[in-house]
């Protein structure tokens, strides 16, 4: 097998009721769980990322008391808090690697994170000979976009599972999907 699945930031602070909750986040978590029940065995790697920001400081300017919601944000996904945990609708039992990103600095792509033992996603893909990457998660217009673009940049064939993503806003999510398609990603629905 040479295929990986990226589950990007399916966390409490990014689903309904969270500090930066997006509409449809809980539903995406549940649909990913249904998808994994039938398809987890198709993947050599299942990598789940989480924003994991420091409690102290502004995390390199990422946190701001008056955020612009483009480059600065309210406090979210602080390491060890409920907001940083996976959404309860997401079954992580088939996840092979957990990646934490944004520890003290802004980070959007899961390629910017590491596993607890320090492995990078780029290293994991190389180590497992992964050619194809499917991407699901939150938010379409930010961390899903950045993670998928990085996967393309790393020479992988990328599919965005469009019914397993949720974005901050419809317009920016549509623009992100168009940008990803233009960069070479395949947009596909799972039907779960």
Rounded to whole angstroms, how far apart are CA atoms 42 and 84?
28
38 annotated active-site: no
Contacts of residue 32, defined as CB under 8 A and 6 or more positions apart, other chains included, come to 7, 10, 90, 136, 137, 164
Nearest to 132 by CA among 102, 161, 96: 161
Active-site hit among 3, 26, 134, 143: 143
Complete edge-to-edge strand list for the sheet that includes strand 132-138: 97-101, 45-51, 3-8, 132-138, 157-166, 186-188
End-to-end CA distance of the chain: 23
Indicate the DSSP class of residue 182: H
Active-site hit among 3, 9, 77, 141: 9
Active-site hit among 26, 51, 77, 101: 101
Rounded to whole angstroms, how far apart are CA atoms 137 and 115?
18
143 annotated active-site: yes
9 annotated active-site: yes
Catalytic center residues? 9, 101, 143
């Amino acid at each position: 097998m040479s295929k990986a699945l990226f589950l990007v930031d399916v966390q409490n602070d990014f689903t309904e009721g969270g500090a930066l909750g997006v509409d449809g986040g809980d539903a995406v978590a549940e649909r990913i769980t249904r998808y994994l029940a039938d398809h987890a065995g198709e993947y050599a790697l299942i990598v789940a990322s989480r924003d994991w920001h420091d409690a102290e400081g502004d995390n390199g300017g990422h946190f701001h008391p008056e955020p612009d919601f483009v480059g600065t944000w309210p406090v979210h996904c602080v390491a060890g808090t409920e907001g940083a945990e996976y959404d309860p609708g997401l079954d992580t039992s088939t996840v092979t690697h957990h990646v934490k990103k944004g520890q003290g600095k802004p980070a959007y792509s899961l390629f910017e994170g590491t596993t607890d033992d320090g492995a990078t996603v780029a290293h994991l893909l190389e180590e497992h000979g992964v050619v194809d990457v499917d991407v699901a998660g939150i938010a379409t217009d930010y961390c899903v976009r950045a993670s998928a673009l990085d996967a393309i940049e790393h020479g992988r064939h990328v599919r965005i599972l469009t019914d397993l993503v949720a974005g901050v806003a419809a317009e920016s999510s549509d623009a992100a999907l168009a940008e990803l398609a233009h960069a070479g990603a395949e947009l596909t629905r799972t039907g779960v």
